[in-house]
């Protein structure tokens, strides 16, 4: 799979575009999150091509070249994914490094079983820099969670909504009897109902997922 145009916009929106060297926050970076080297900018030789800044076109070209490694990292998982799931995982890897999936077995297991709620929980483990949770990373992980759990538009049709009541709270799912997709909050539920014409009625389930 390849990153979609929406995925490109999603990642670029979070990374931002900086046409000069900067620390993000602890590594030397340029353009759209292009890693120059680990550690802060300090005059190393790898910084030389960027000391006078780069153009917007150069930033975009570097991004397109960089993102291929992260597409490959997600494809190596060998999991059938929707486009939105793929884009969310590429964004996650682009932010944390293509090797992240080798050290995040619980996340990979959640992806393999298509457990959107567990994927979101695992995403939220990766919001720290130097042991400090960063608000920007918390927001990005939440956005990646929402993207992962937003089915590609055509997948919504024919689905019904279900509420699953468990000891840990109530979870909303959209399902067609074969697949189910986690809806992460009431605001997202309302938006999906309005935009994609999902039913307004939510069928309650017990903790085992049986209609009550």
Mind telling me the catalytic residues?
15
User: How far apart are alpha carbons 34 and 146 in whole angstroms?
Assistant: 25
- Work out the widest C-alpha separation in the chain, in whole angstroms: 65
Closest CA to 10 of 85, 73, 72, 91: 91
Closest CA to 184 of 142, 155, 212, 153: 142
User: How far apart are alpha carbons 74 and 7 in whole angstroms?
Assistant: 13
CA distances from 184 to 15, 94, 129 (A): 24, 23, 25
CA 35 to chain centre: 19
Dihedral sign for Cα 78, 80, 84, 85, please: negative
CA distances from 55 to 36, 49, 64, 149 (A): 16, 12, 14, 35
């Amino acid at each position: 799979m390849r990153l979609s145009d929406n995925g490109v916009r999603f990642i670029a929106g979070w990374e931002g575009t900086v046409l000069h060297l900067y620390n993000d926050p602890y590594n030397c970076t340029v353009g759209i999150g292009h890693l120059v080297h680990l550690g802060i900018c300090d005059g190393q030789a790898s910084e030389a091509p960027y000391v006078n800044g780069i153009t917007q076109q150069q930033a975009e070209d570097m991004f397109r070249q960089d993102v291929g490694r992260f597409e490959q990292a997600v494809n190596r998982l060998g999991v059938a994914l929707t486009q939105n799931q793929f884009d969310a995982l590429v964004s996650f890897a682009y932010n944390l490094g293509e090797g992240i999936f080798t050290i995040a077995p619980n996340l990979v297991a959640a992806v393999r079983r298509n457990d959107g709620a567990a994927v979101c929980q695992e995403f939220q483990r990766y919001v720290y820099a130097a042991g400090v949770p960063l608000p920007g990373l918390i927001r990005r992980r939440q956005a990646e969670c929402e993207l992962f759990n937003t089915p590609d538009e055509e997948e919504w049709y024919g689905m019904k909504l279900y509420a699953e009541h468990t000891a840990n709270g109530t979870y909303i799912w959209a399902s067609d009897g074969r697949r189910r997709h986690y809806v992460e909050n009431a605001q997202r539920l309302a938006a999906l109902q309005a935009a994609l014409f999902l039913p307004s009625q939510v069928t309650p389930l017990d903790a085992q997922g049986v209609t009550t």
